[in-house]
Amino acid sequence: MSQPNLVTNTPLNKKPKEINVYVLLLLVLIIASISTYVLPAGEYTRTEVNGRSVVVPDTYQGIESTPVGLMDIIGSVHTGMVEASSIIFFVLIIGGTFGILTATGTIAAFIATLSRKLANQEKWLIPVMMLFFAMGGALMGMAEETLAYIGIMIPLAIALGFDVITGTAIVLVGASIGFTTAIMNPFTVGIAQSIAELPPFSGIGYRILLFVIMYVVSVFFVYRYAMKVKRDRGYGFFADGKYEAIATQNQKLETKHKIVLGCFLLNFVLLAYGVLQYEWFITEIAGLFLVLGIIIAFVGRLSPDESVKAFMKGAGGLISGALIIGVARAIVVILTDGHVIDTILYYASSAIHHLPPVLSAVGMYFLQAIIHFIVPSGSGQAALTMPIMAPLADLVGVTRQTAVLSFSMADGIGNIIFPTSGYFMAGLAIAGIPWIRWAKWILPLILTQYAIGLVSVIVAQLIGYGPF
C-alpha cells in the first residue's frame, strides 16, 4: 500500500488530478456572460484625475440592458489578449532575457557556488529572501517585476534540498506580503489615498505593524513546508525535473558570470530608481530587461545567433502563461461590455450604507475582495472603487484611512491565488506549477491572511485609524 502524500492527500505514486486552468477560466467566462442577462445594466459617470479615469460618486444610473451575444463571448478572448498585450509581451521579454541568462551558464554557476556557501545554513534562505521581496512589494509595488527572479530562486531552492513550490513561494508570497500591507506602495495606497484626499502615505505606522505580522505568518508557513520537503522529497513538487538539471550542475563561477550577475543587480537598482523616481511601468521595465538581455549576451560571449535562439527558447517556455493572462482579461471584457461591473459596485455599496460603522468597514473589505477577482489590477481597482468608497465612508462613520486599508489588504491577498491575476499565472507558468496544485497548497495561508486583514480592518475602525 502506497504512503499518502500529506500535501495533496494522494498516494505518492499516483499523480493528482488537475483541472486545466484554461477550462477553469472559460467556465468563469461563461458565468460572467450569463450575469449580463441576469443583472441590470448600469454605469457611473467617469472623469479623469491625474491621468486616470475614475468614477464620479452618486452618478450611477440604469441603462438599457446590453447582454453579450455568442460572437461577443467568442471575440472576448481575442479582445482580452489585445487589452492585456502589454503584460503578455512583458512576460515574453522577461522569459527571453532569462533564456539568455541561462544560456550564459551564469545561473548554474551561481546556484552551485551559493549552495556550497549556504551548506548547513539553508534555513536562512527563506526568511532573508522573502524579506527582500516583501520590501520590494511594500516600497515600490513589485509584482510583475518579480517574475525574472523565479527562475533563479527555484533551482537554488532545489539545490538546497527544497522544491519548486518553495522557490516560487519565496518570490510570489514574499512580494505579496509587501504589496498587501503596502507601506509605501505607489500603485495601491498611493493612488487610493490620493483619490480619498488623504495625506500621501499617511497611517504608515499601522501598516508597518501589519507588515511584520504578515511577514512572520507567511515565512512560518513557507518554512514549515520547506522543512517537510527537506526531510522527505515525497512531500515536494519538482515540475517533472524542469529545474533539477540546473540545480545539480557544478559549474565554477567565472569572471564573466560575476560580471553578468553584476549587470543583473544593476538592472534591479535602475528598475527601482525608475519606478520610484519616474513612475516607470510595464513598457519601461520591459525595455530595461530587453537591454539587459543584449548586454549579458555580449558579456556571456554568446554569438548573435546563439543569443536569438536562447531568447526565443526562454520566451517560448512562457507562451502558455502569457496566453492565460489574455483569457483572464476576457472576463473583464465581458463584464465591461455587459455594463454590469458598475451595477455590482453600486448595489454592494448601497447594502453597506445601512450597516453599523464596524460592519460597514467589514463589508467594504469583503466587497473589495470580490471586486479584486474581477479587476485584478491594484491601480485599476483603486480608480474604480475609491471614488465611491471614500464618500461612502464619510456617510457610514468609517474613517477614509480604514476604507483605503480595506482596499489595499483585500487587493493584495488575492494576487497569489486568483487565476485572473495575470502576473501570478505567468509566475506559475515559469515554475511549471499547475494552478490547482498551488491553490491546494497555499489556501490555508490565504485564509489566514484574509483573517488577519479582517481583524486589521475592524481594529482600524475601532481605533479611528486616520487622520480621518
Q: Could you give the C-alpha distances from 270 to 87, 266, 333, in angstroms and in order?
A: 20, 6, 34
DSSP 41-58: PEE--EEEETTEEEEPTT
Q: Provide the pLDDT for residue 249.
A: 61
Q: What average pLDDT does this structure show over 15-44?
A: 83
Q: What global pTM score does this model have?
A: 0.78
3-state secondary structure the chain: CCCEECCCCEECCCCCCCCCHHHHHHHHHHHHHHHHHHCCCEECCEEEECCEEEECCCCCEECCCCCCCHHHHHHHHHHHHHHCHHHHHHHHHHHHHHHHHHHCCHHHHHHHHHHHHCCCCHHHHHHHHHHHHHHHHHHHCCCHHHHHHHHHHHHHHHHCCCCHHHHHHHHHHHHHHHHHHCCCCCCCHHHHHHHCCCCCCCCHHHHHHHHHHHHHHHHHHHHHHHHHHHHCHHHCCCHHHCCHHHHHCCCCCCHHHHHHHHHHHHHHHHHHHHHHHHCCCHHHHHHHHHHHHHHHHHHCCCCHHHHHHHHHHHHHCCHHHHHHHHHHHHHHHHHHHCCCHHHHHHHHHHHHCCCCHHHHHHHHHHHHHHHHHHCCCHHHHHHHHHHHHHHHHHHHCCCHHHHHHHHHHHHHHHHHCCCCCHHHHHHHHHHCCCHHHHHHHHHHHHHHHHHHHHHHHHHHHHCCCCCC
Residue 13 has pLDDT above 60, yes or no: no
Mean pLDDT confidence for 55-67: 88
pLDDT band at 452 (very low <50, low <70, confident <90, very high): very high
Residue 434 to residue 432: CA distance in whole angstroms: 7
Higher pLDDT, 368 or 320: 368
Structure confidence at residue 336 (pLDDT)? 87
CA 257, CA 171: separation in Å to the nearest integer?
23
The reported pLDDT for the residue numbered 283 is 83
49-63, 240-254, 355-369, 415-429: which range is least confident on average?
240-254
Using pLDDT thresholds of 50, 70 and 90, give the confidence band for residue 261.
confident
Q: What's the pLDDT at 250? A: 64
Tens digits of residue pLDDT in 66-100: 999 999 999 999 998 998 888 788 878 888 888 89
H helices within 196-281, ranges in order? 204-231, 244-248, 255-278
The pLDDT, as a whole number, for residue 14 is 46
CB-based contact 271:280 (threshold 8 Å) = yes
Query: Count of CB atoms within 10 A of residue 400's CB?
Result: 26
Amino acid at 147: L
Mean pLDDT of the chain: 86
Q: Would you say residue 281 has pLDDT above 80?
A: no
* Residue 273: band (very low, low, confident or very high) from pLDDT cuts 50, 70, 90: confident
| Residue of 387 and 363 predicted with greater confidence | 363
Q: What percent of the chain clears pLDDT 70, i.e. is strictly above it? A: 93
pLDDT surpasses 50 at 229: yes
The model's pLDDT over 323-377, given as tens digits with 9 standing for 90+, comes to: 877 888 888 899 889 999 889 888 888 888 888 999 999 999 999 999 898 888 8
Rounded average pLDDT over 268-279: 79
Is residue 388 pLDDT above 90, yes or no? no
